[in-house]
Structure 1
Amino acid sequence: MGWRAEALGWDGYQSLVRAMSVEAASDFGASVGGRLGPLLSPHKVARRNMELVFPDAGAREIDALLVAMWDNIGRLLGEFPNLHRMDLKATGESIRLEGRDVIDELAAKGDPVVFVGGHFANWEVLAAVLANAMPKCRMTYRHANNPLIDRRIVNQRAAYGVEIFAPKGEAGAKEALKALQTGHSVALMNDQKMNDGIEAPFFGLPAMTASGPARMALKYDAPLVPMSVVRRHGANFTVKVYEPLPRPQAADRTQAILEMVTAVNRFIEARILETPAQWFWVHRRFAKNVYRKAAG
Structure 2
Amino acid sequence: MNEKVGFWQDLLWRLEALAFDATVGLLRLFPVDTASDLGASLLKTLGPISPVQKVVLRNLDLAFPDKDVGWKARICRAQWDNLGRTFAEIAMMDRITIANGRIVVQNAERLEEIKLSGRPVVFISGHFANWEIMPSVINEAGVICQMTYRAANNPYVDARWRKARERYGTQLFAPKGGDGAKELLAGMARGESVALMNDQKFNRGVSTPFFSRPVDTAPGPARLALRFGTVLQPMTVERTDRARFRVTVCDPINVVDTGRKSEDIDATVCKVSNFIEDAVRARPEAWFWVHKRWPNDAYKSAAETPGHKN
- Offset, 1:167: 4.2
Bigger shift: residues 208-217 or 247-256: 247-256
How far apart are the structure 1 equivalents of 2:213 and 2:189? Answer: 35
Pair 1:172-2:188 in alignment: no
The equivalent of 2:6 in structure 1 is none
Alignment of 1:16-31 (within 5 A): 16-31=26-41
- Residue 47 of structure 1 is matched in structure 2 by 57
> Residue 219 of structure 1 corresponds to which residue in structure 2?
227
Shift of 1:41: 1.8
Q: Would you say 1:259 and 2:267 are equivalent positions?
A: yes
Counterpart of 2:130 in structure 1 is 122
Answer with 125-134 or 235-244: which moved more: 125-134
Aligned length: 294
**Secondary structure of 1:206's aligned partner:** strand
Using structure 1 for the length normalisation, give the TM-score: 0.96
Q: Contact between 1:141 and 1:164, CA under 8 Å: does it hold in 2? A: no
Residue segments in structure 2 that go unaligned for 5+ positions in a row: 1-10, 305-310
Which region of structure 1 is more displaced relative to structure 2, 2-11 or 90-99? 90-99
- Aligned pair 1:94/2:102, yes or no? yes
CA-atom RMSD, angstroms?
1.3
Q: Do the aligned residues in 2 keep the contact of 1:143 with 1:166 (CA within 8 Å)?
A: no
The residue that corresponds to 1:77 in the other structure is 87
Contact 1:7 1:148 in 2 (8 A): yes
Q: Following TM superposition, by how much is the alpha carbon of 1:128 offset from its aligned partner in structure 2, in angstroms? A: 0.7
Show the counterpart of 1:273. 281
- Out of 100, 121, 124, the residue aligned to residue 113 of structure 1 is 121
TM-score calculated relative to the size of structure 2: 0.92
CA contact (8 A) 1:30 1:70 kept: yes
Aligned to 1:235: 243
- Structure 2 counterpart SS, 1:50: helix
CA distance in 2, matches of 1:258, 1:167: 24
Deviations 1:171-223 (A, max 9, x none): 11111111101110000000000113221111111111110000000000011
User: In the alignment, is the contact (CA less than 8 A) between 1:102 and 1:243 conserved in 2?
Assistant: no
Q: CA deviation at 1:295?
A: 2.2
Contact map agreement 1:224 1:244 (CA 8 A) in 2 = yes
Q: How does 1:179-218 map to 2 (within 5 A)?
A: 179-218=187-226
SS in 2 for 1:123: coil
Q: Distance in 1 between matches of 2:171 and 2:50?
A: 32
Gaps of 5+ in 1: none
Moved over 6 A (4+): none
Structure 1 position 92, deviation (Å): 4.8
